[in-house]
Amino acid sequence: MNEEVISAGLTEDSVSSKISLDYTLGVEASIQKCEDIEIPHRYFRNYLTVLPVNVRAIFVYWEVTDSLMKQNGVSFPLILKIYDESGELLRFGVFEDLGSTYANAYWNEKGIFAELGYLNENDEFISLISSNKLGMPSDRLHVSNSETWMSKQENFEEIIKASLERDMPTSSSITKQMQLALYDARLNTLSSFSILR
């Protein structure tokens, strides 16, 4: 009997639930042919983006258009500078209008951003493009006294018992298993919740 119900549900909508993806997503899901879509090599936009990899590395990628280079009368090499709140941290030479690099340092909880530019005739750095500002992750676990953690194996039965005592009338004629079963039914989770001894 159960196998028939499962088989019927799967063949009807190609999902195991009567609710189809059309209604779940709020839009009609259309079946599209998988086509090879060519990703462009470049987008002809000026951008500089910094992404975190981990607490010890960032990934930086950029594109500089010919029009920006001509407008400023600049040629390669350019300079990529990486900053935090205290100032410049790293400096790289950039020899391509489209590229990327990793930068390794200890970035723990620092605010990072980058600039791509050039040195003028007075050796002053002139920024052409600035990146997004990025808050780097911490290398420590966040500890908060306001968080409550629970392991299903530890004291789970005590939590259920305490909630039953508060929410359900107790009687010597009602066994603990019956109390748990009533609690399950009340939450409509009987199928996903096992009765504890």
Last residue of a domain, one of 90, 106, 135: 135
- 106 & 178 share domain: no
Domain limits for position 193: 149-197
Q: Are residues 173 and 120 in the same domain?
A: no
Same domain? 67 vs 116: yes
Is 168 within a domain? yes
Distance in angstroms (rounded) separating the CA atoms of residues 48 and 62: 4
Query: Is there a single domain that holds both residue 115 and residue 82?
Result: yes
| Residue 197 pLDDT class (50, 70, 90 cuts) | very low
Listed residue (119, 2, 113, 110) closest to 55, CA to CA: 110
Of 106, 79, 84, residue with least CA distance to 95: 79
d(CA 197, CA 79): 68
Strands 125-130 and 47-54: unpaired
Residues whose CB is less than 8 angstroms from the CB of residue 68 and which lie 6 or more positions away in sequence, other chains included: 46, 128, 129
- We report the CATH number of the domain holding residue 60 as 2.60.40.10
Question: Are 123 and 176 contained in the same domain?
Answer: no
Question: Are 178 and 98 found together in one domain?
Answer: no
> What are the tens digits of pLDDT across the range 60-106?
999 999 999 999 999 999 999 999 999 999 999 999 999 999 999 99
* 117 shares its domain with 58: yes
- Residues 129, 156 within the same domain: no
Number of domains in the chain: 2
Count CB-CB contacts under 10 A for residue 78: 21
Most confident listed range (59-63, 106-110, 175-179): 59-63
CA 54/CA 85 separation, integer angstroms = 19
Q: Is residue 27 part of a domain?
A: no
